[in-house]
Copies of this chain bind each other. A is one copy, B any other.
Amino acid sequence: MHATTATESLTRSVEDYLKAIYRLSPEGRPASTSDIAHLLELSAPSVSGMVKRLSELGLLEHIPYKGVQLTDSGRRAALRMVRRHRLIEVYLVQFLGYPWDAVHVEAERLEHAVSDTLVERMAAALGHPAVDPHGDPIPEADGSIREPACTPLSELDVGDTVEILRVDEREPERLRYLASLGLIPGAVVRVEDRQPFGGPVTVEAAGARQVLGQELAHVVLCGAEGVR
């Protein structure tokens, strides 16, 4: 009990690695070093090297040639960064008039610079929001997080009427496009048509019919339960 306690004073790039590994290992399944390299846009050897360092720091466990898994300490540090990132995003939208497509980049830098105090003051000013502007849940300060069950729009059946819960996309262009179609968290959409084999999905949203390619439809996550 020491590595499990010290969340502070990690470098910026360590924080980025932890966030990436967290993102790549839902339910704690191991992440591959090449996936990490791809996500962070780094070379594979850079990741191998850093992985060794992180495992020496007790932040993850590494089985060579197999994969990487966060320890409790590592997961806690990762969730701390996720909380910061998402709270900053909400803050920028609510208090500084940022559009939802611009918050990610800004939060990506700020999350490494804010103090815990500042994060909690922002959370309080916002009334402790549960989700960020893209609908992603914000971990609590104690590290707990509740991932709501979601189904991609691309996997719904014709006739389903559902609420959009999350939009798992960060590219500003696409976010602006989705918003222009009314496809934002909270919106209710009905699947009008769906072509097989990853073909386009037609939905009714904001009173208009929209045709979505597979890529975009895959990114729009909806409540599992239908809306009456």
Which residues of B are found within 8 Å of A98, using beta-carbon distances? Answer: 121
Q: Would you call B110 and A113 a contact (CB within 8 A)?
A: yes
Q: When chains A and B are docked, how far (Å) is the Cα of A125 from the Cα of B98?
A: 12
Contacts of A104-123 to chain B: CB distance below 8 A: 105-106, 109-110, 112-115, 117-118, 121-122
Q: Return chain B residues, CB-CB under 8 Å to A106.
A: 114-115, 117-118
Q: Kindly report which residue of chain B lies nearest to residue A111, judged by CB atoms.
A: B113
Look across to chain B and name the residue whose beta carbon is closest to the beta carbon of A108: B113
Minimum CB–CB distance from A174 to chain B (whole Å) comes to 20
Cα of A117 to Cα of B109 in the assembled complex, Å: 13
86-144 of chain A: CB within 8 A of chain B: 92, 95-98, 102, 105-106, 109-110, 112-115, 117-118, 121-122, 125
Contact B112 A113 (CB under 8 A): yes
Residue among A102, A112, A114, A118 with most chain B CB within 10 A:
A118
The reply to whether B121 and A97 form a contact with Cβ atoms under 8 Å apart is yes
Inter-subunit contact A96/B125 (CB<8 Å): yes
A96 partner, pick from B96, B110, B113, B122, beta carbons under 8 A: B122
CB distance from A91 to the nearest CB of B (A): 10
CB distance from A133 to the nearest CB of B (A): 16
Residues of B within 8 A of A105 (CB): 115
In the complex, A63→B110 CA distance in Å?
37
A24-54 vs B, CB cutoff 8 Å, 1 = contact: the mask equals 0000000000000000000000000000000
- Least Cβ–Cβ distance between A80 and chain B, in angstroms: 16
In Å, the complex CA distance between A96 and B115 comes to 13
Q: Which 7 A-B pairs have the closest CB atoms?
A: A113-B113, A109-B113, A96-B121, A110-B113, A106-B115, A106-B118, A96-B125
23 residue pairs of the A-B complex, CB under 8 angstroms, read A92-B118, A95-B95, A95-B125, A96-B118, A96-B121, A96-B122, A96-B125, A97-B121, A98-B121, A102-B117, A105-B115, A106-B114, A106-B115, A106-B117, A106-B118, A109-B113, A109-B114, A109-B115, A110-B110, A110-B113, A110-B114, A112-B113, A113-B113
